[in-house]
Structure 1
Amino acid sequence: MKYFDHNRPDIHYSTGDQVIKRISINRSKLAMLYSNAMTVIKEMHPNYFIQDPTEQKIYQVHVSQLRSISSDRFDIEEEVKNLCDIIKCATDFIFDTESDIHSHIPALIQVLIVQEDQKLLLVLLIETTHLPDISSLRFREIQKLFQYLFRTGTNLYSWGSLEDELTRFQIYQLFSVPVPARIFNVQYIFTKWFNEYINKKSNDNNSNTTDNDDSVIINAPEIDSELFLPPIMMNHLKVINNELWSLQDAIAYIFYKHLLKRETLRSWYLPKNQITEFQPEILSIDRSDYP
């Protein structure tokens, strides 16, 4: 996303202009994000009708909520400061990291920012192989972002050991491990909970003369036959092999969905000469799209 110029006096937009719409995240005027690019389809200054080309939705927006897209600069410092304001107002964060499939270089940190009473879930993507120079102001601002994420009193959740994952990223000097925040290994917590739950359910069924259907129907590839094992048998295999539940298996047995791993196996790392500068990405997920 390119920088949007908001210093022009007496801003007017014309039909066909590319703009972005401001999204207020909380009461702080500093903590604001912006939508993807939209097109002005009707002008009634100071109000404009804009259309989202992805969802084909039309919005009526006041001019104060719009910014034009410029191709000549990107104010990374302002964007990171806005993100810091959002992070300071939150205490729960879900982490995941990825390494390049070929070189195994730590390449991507994903952070879901959990906010209460907000319709949008924000996901921050940090491509660590494209960071600015370590002596630059931009780099220090990104370091500050991690200081807020890892501050005392925040809760960090991950599937697996987040300490181990973060340790691999210390080479970028964004933070040091251990961090002051509380860390929760959801994989370990889930494995312990599911074993207790399935044993209790089994005992309840044994004391009940009514037949209980213990089958699981999952929309998964036929070659992955292990996913069709009854929950008690699957859990027994995990226990005797001293194996934690994978996220794919957990999703299958709790939500009856097959989670593809293919999308995470990517060439996340690109040579420096293919990237001109660091550009943070932040995604917004609408809570209403999920049960």
Structure 2
Amino acid sequence: MSERATVGSILRERREAKGLTRDQAAEAARIKPVFLQAMEEDDYRFLPDELYVVRFLHEYAAFLGLDATAIRSQFVRQTSHAQAAGTAGLGVKEPVRISLRRLLPVALVLLAAVPVIVIGYSLYTQGGKPAPTPPRPVVAPRAPAAPTEGAAPAPAAPREIQASSAAPREMPAIPAPGPEGHLLRVQATDVTWLTVTIDGREVRDVLLQPGDTVQWRARERYLITVGNAGGIHLILNGQALPPIGRPGQVLRNVPIPPASEAVSR
């Protein structure tokens, strides 16, 4: 494998050598064409998790019949060189450089202002001191009025304490599975990558765009790893589930349905 060839060019050349179009390879590997295009162009910036990229490159290289370990090593070397050279790589930002020529006018203004500040402070300290503030008169507390003879003090009215009428919030119940198990539907509201493990065996990796919808069946449960937890809506057995996280939050191995519900059934 040539050291000068990038991971993307190697993947593209092998795909073309096998006579596959980009759409055909994406369908066979069960990935989005836009994701495959990004890999072949060595553009990994939109993926928040580098471990996900390494794992996916390993699986896709094996699909093309390439040495998956060599592809993974080439990717690590490639990204390391990109970061050392200060290029974009995996979204590495270049350091901000401050020009001394731009700072020079600011420094001159500050130096010119120092004598003015010193003179003003001297004039202020040499002036007369302000007159002391006269003490505030002390007001003697008023004596309580003597109770009128023969008059009984009026009893204080009892305070009424109103109970809160707000009922405790009830968490939505997890819908029972149908005769064929669970049906999980995922609706994307933002760009995100998603890995779903079905019944601990089958693994699906997808890259979702806003408006995309995917669904899978399982006999027992799912484990979800997502790069943008706030960018998806989950619907289990026809019932919408509460949000699992915030926008941009990366979550790993989230059980659906929750483990406590799975054990109780």
TM-score computed with the length of structure 2 as normaliser = 0.22
Greater C-alpha Rg: 2
Which has the larger strand fraction?
Answer: 1
Structure with higher RCO (Cα < 8 A, 6+ apart) = 1
